[in-house]
Amino acid sequence: MKFIDEARIRVRGGKGGNGCMSFRREKFIPFGGPDGGDGGDGGSVILEADESINTLVDFRYKREYNARSGESGRGSNCTGKKADDLIAKVPIGTLVFDEATSELLGDLVHHGDRFVVAQCGFHGLGNARYKSSTNRAPRQTSEGGLGEERQLRLELKLLADVGLLGLPNAGKSTFIRAVSAARPKVADYPFTTLHPNLGVVKVDDMRSFVLADIPGLIEGAAEGAGLGVQFLKHLSRTRLLLHIVDIAPMDDSDPLDAINTIYQELAKFSPELGAKERWLILNQCDKVTEETVQLKKQDILEKLKWTGPVYTISAITGQGTRQLCFDIMKKWDEPASEVLPSASEVE
């Protein structure tokens, strides 16, 4: 199924039913008086978060959501039937924006959360409502109100505990395959990952966390270059970022340059995202000797003045990945006062 994280739709609440004008006419009951009933309220359009839905693809095929109108009132003081609400299911993590004003209307972050995006029209009043001591035979009714109508933009931000960052071909997809049941495409060319992937990392029988992999970033991503900038928003809800760096790139580029590039693009895209805690993950350590790994690691830490956690792993062989997952889980099991130091800013 194609991953869709944005959609534009039009919603309209149902019109309220009109009030009825009627007079009671029965044998032996002269001047029975007004008995016109009220109309029924229209239906509202409601968005509901559902954990079984992972994408907004359905909203690409159906773009209009119109709730039904309420029924008109009837004689004998019968009220018209209220229309049922129209409930549209959306993924957890959906943001609702007004397309005209770009105002954030709602944020659905828990299963079962509901948000009314188009209020129904209020019912009209029958002539029985206008009866008074001075107006015993009113011929006045009111029409039902129109439902609210809006153009909306839906934006999905994935809910994940940990997000993966890195240049194309840094090994992010290989890592998520190694630690979870997710099976993203892996190949030896850039931009193999074209859409975000989620994987559940099961640490033991009772504990697990969700890992999110986004397409690789390149220099200039914050200005629109490459693919990753389209999906950086998915990392804003994560609790921790894993910055994966290829310690032995095939083009002999400097891993330090890769780290600087990613950090600068994060800071340009969002200061909050740039300040989020990151752990440095040096990948593909199986390609070089242990001595070379330690030398490169020491060089990177000294030049960056890095104070956060650093791990050396090999995603393709699984070396170091299990310990990394246990440490992530251990961090969240610690008391709030025992927080690991966050990554320092890159010079």
Contact of 197 with 180, CB cutoff 8 Å: no
What are the sequence ranges of the domains in the chain?
6-156, 162-333
101-136 per-position pLDDT tens digit: 989 999 998 999 999 999 999 999 999 999 998 898
Q: Which CATH superfamily is domain 6-156 in?
A: GTP1/OBG domain (2.70.210.12)
Helices (H), the chain: 58-61, 172-179, 255-269, 271-275, 290-304, 321-333
Contact of 324 with 281, CB cutoff 8 Å: yes
String of DSSP letters for 285-332 = GGGS-HHHHHHHHHHHHHHHT--S-EEE-BTTTTBTHHHHHHHHHHHH
Regarding predicted confidence, which is higher, 246 or 344? 246
pLDDT at residue 170 tops 90: no
Confidence of residue 171 (pLDDT cuts 50, 70, 90): confident
Half-sphere exposure of 216 (CA within 13 A, CB side): 23
The helix/strand/coil state of 1 is coil
Do the two domains 6-156 and 162-333 of this chain adopt the same fold?
no
What residue type is 346 in one-letter code? V
Percent of the chain with pLDDT over 90: 33
pLDDT at residue 315 tops 50: yes
The pLDDT, as a whole number, for residue 2 is 53
Phi, psi of 330 (to 5 degrees): -65, -40
The pLDDT, as a whole number, for residue 186 is 60
Rounded Cα gap, residues 48 and 115, in angstroms = 7
Rounded Cα gap, residues 325 and 209, in angstroms = 9
Token readout for 103 is: 């105002």
Rounded Cα gap, residues 225 and 324, in angstroms = 31
Confidence of residue 3 (pLDDT cuts 50, 70, 90): low
207-259 per-position pLDDT tens digit: 888 888 877 665 544 444 445 556 677 777 788 888 888 887 777 778 888 88
17-75 per-position pLDDT tens digit: 999 999 998 888 888 889 999 999 999 999 999 988 878 888 988 999 999 999 999 99
Rounded Cα gap, residues 259 and 283, in angstroms = 13
pTM of the model: 0.70
Architecture of the domain whose range is 162-333: 3-Layer(aba) Sandwich (3.40)
